[in-house]
Amino acid sequence: MTENKKIYPKLSEKSQKKKLYNRMDLDTARESLDNESFKRVTVSFYNYFKIEDPISFRDELFMKFNELGVLGRVYIAHEGINSQISVPKHNFAAFRDFLYSFTGLSGIRLNVAVDDDGKSFLILKIKVRDKIVADGIEDETFDVNNRGDYLNAEAFNKFMDENPDTLLLDMRNHYEYEVGHFNNASEVPSDTFREQLPMAVDMAKGHENKPIVMYCTGGIRCEKASAWMKHNGFNEVYHVEGGIIKYANEVKEKGLENKFIGKNFVFDDRLGERISDDIIANCHQCGTSFDSHKNCANSACHLLFIQCQECEDKYESCCSIECQEIIHLSEEEQAKIRKEKPKSSKIFNRFKDTLKK
């Protein structure tokens, strides 16, 4: 049976000359995704390299990605590119060839998702930012390319077995670590990568001449973090090549011991991919063993938190009784609350917050 390949509309000439972006509303986008009869591949990639004109580069990528039916999120800056996307399987070769046609992207590693249903993204967004990973670093002598050495899955397992005094640092946010991490990894309990960098340096004091291994989801954060550690005087610094995603794929392909327990949190509609059967987190409302994140059904709240099925039924997918009451108000009343509600991080922090039951 021949796959039904969807034809994606080309942008108008007027759109090409002006700001390029996807105008489709989310409900329409979800319906379009649900109606697709072909398979998608969720893939992430990044590279630190000099981009002289991020805006022109962004426009060129948008035009081709849109033509190929790519959905997802791409950030571009003078320092490089960071991307999490889904690609129609029948267009994957064309997508890869186009990507590799750029000098700074030729042959870069493409991390394919471990646990993928193809429904990871709804629309395509490509944005130009000051940095592809916000780090708070203002030191002009810092060189992100002076990074630590890579460890693939096999090398990582061997290294950790042979070097028990290694400091293993998880360079992800607290809510990512909560649902899954490597055995014996140290959490850097923060809300942002910007906060983590100085904390990691403090935690590593005394390890100036001892091994330090860092890891993150796909490699982009720990690569910059490893360079920052070297910049701060730490000599033996490593990081897991391709992060948890590449590690998990290599473990599966080569039949290696899996040293990662639980789920790998991902920043798309899946909110996590299962790496091992272990459930190491708990429902934030009742405390039962559970590790699936969701967003509060009250759109004025939209808090990201862990909620088991029983609490989901009890609180109607809300994080609190207060939010549960709000979702039963009229749309006009809810709109007023959304307008008046101050902005927040919208992520439950088990170190700081207590859910109102």
Please state the separation of Cα 85 from the chain's center in Å: 11
Q: Which of 216, 222, 283, 311 is catalytic?
A: 216
CB burial of residue 280 (10 Å; 0-12, 13-18, 19+): middle
Give the span between the Cα atoms of 209 and 168, in whole angstroms: 14
Beta carbons within 8 Å of 292's beta carbon, 6+ residues apart: 271, 272, 306, 307
Radius of gyration of the chain (CA): 21
Give the span between the Cα atoms of 222 and 238, in whole angstroms: 9
Answer yes or no: 216 catalytic. yes
Give the span between the Cα atoms of 31 and 203, in whole angstroms: 47
Q: Are 174 and 272 in contact (CB under 8 A)?
A: no
Catalytic center residues: 216
